[in-house]
Amino acid sequence: MPVCPRVRRGNRVRWNPPARKRIHFGRPRIVKPPTVYDVAERAGVSIATVSRVLRSPDRVRPDTAARVEAAVRELGYVPSGAARGLAERRTGVLGLYLPGFDAIEDLTEIELPETGGTDIVTDLGKTADDHIADLYFDEVVRGAELEAWRRGFALMVAVGRGSKSLQTFTDMAGRVDGLIVLARAVPDAVLKPLAARIPVVVLSSRGDYEEFDRVSVSNREGMAALTDHVLTRTDGALVYLGGPEESPDARDRRRGVRDALEKHGRAEDMRWISDTFTRETGRRVGRELAELADAGGELPGAVLCGNDQMALGVLDEFAAAGIEVPGRVLVSGFDGIPAAALSSPRLSTVRQPIEDLGRAAIALLDERFQEPAGEPRGVRLPVSVLLRESTEPAR
């Protein structure tokens, strides 16, 4: 043991024990973050010099820049994005706002267990998880994230659901420099005034939202080409399962189907259904068709769907009912999501460059920052028709 030093106070002697090292357990103590003033003091420079080093180190003498950079490392200083935004009137953040198409009603309170565990689940002959690699918006978000990162922006993503969707949108709009919105996700009465304040890009079909910068794909031409091919494979009646009437993409795809029907003189052969762009919608319609056939009715020659998730839902129910695709009925989709290549049979579809939608929207926002007063610009991306086993019966 170390010997404690003695201290004489008058006629008394006191023993001063060594200070004990304090050991901290549990959560780390949160300390006040260093400021730009702390960095300037440590480096012996002004705060203006610190700012120049952080932004344009090549404009500062190397020895000065080295001192400032050393002080930043030693103190663990991180520049304040909020403070920088106030100075520049920019946040460096772009927003992507999407509607809540995917069901939220089944969500329950999440459990936060303190211990782990293992469940053994027999998963034989069941349908695929809806959320495995089949969501259109996953690819849009990925493309936007990649392009935002490449151009030096951060991306904020929000999904509007239920009665609070408009509040979610307005909250996001107040925190970003520019915004990407899916067509019809926000009322025009809200979107137009916002576009006078910050740049807005709309993901929409051509012919809509011409007062905004916008990105679209060749919906009508792609769906017409796929429908044209399906009509050469069957003489039976047809069902078209499309998206909601107010969706510009759904309208354009429906027009493409009509173009092909008129070309073949078969406009009367189609039954039209409009509903939400979800896998559950496809399951419901597929189940109705299967029950009709089981009751002695006839299956259509083909079910054309306005997106892949709908088509995958139809395939789910046909498989459960023992209806062979493409042996008894053809099925097609639109979008080209990864799950369409993993279904059984693989799904014929129109592949749109979903990731590039997100990237192109970010690029248009960046261009608008450089030229705020320019005319609105529209970008239309090409599509590819993928012919797979779901529409190719053996001959």
pLDDT, one tens digit per residue, over 267-318 is 888 999 999 888 999 999 999 999 998 888 899 999 999 999 999 999 999 9
Q: What is the mean pLDDT of residues 218-245?
A: 94
pTM of the model: 0.68
Beta-bridge mates of residue 178: 94
Helix/strand/coil for 335: strand
Report the alpha-carbon distance of residue 146 to residue 68 in Å, rounded. 32
Q: In the chain, which segments carry CATH 3.40.50.2300? A: 93-103+129-215+354-381, 219-353+384-391
Helix, strand, coil % over all residues of the chain, rounded to 5: 40, 15, 40
Domain span(s) for CATH 1.10.260.40 in the chain: 32-79
Residue 86 has pLDDT above 50, yes or no: no
Q: Is domain 219-353+384-391 classified as CATH 3.40.50.720?
A: no
> What's the chain's Rg over C-alpha atoms?
30
User: What tens digit of pLDDT does each residue of 98-138 get?
Assistant: 876 554 555 567 777 777 778 787 766 555 454 444 467 88
Spell out the CATH class of 32-79.
Answer: mainly alpha
Question: For the domain bounded by 93-103+129-215+354-381, which CATH number is listed?
Answer: 3.40.50.2300
Q: How far is CA 45 from CA 11, 68, 78, 232, in A?
A: 53, 8, 18, 77
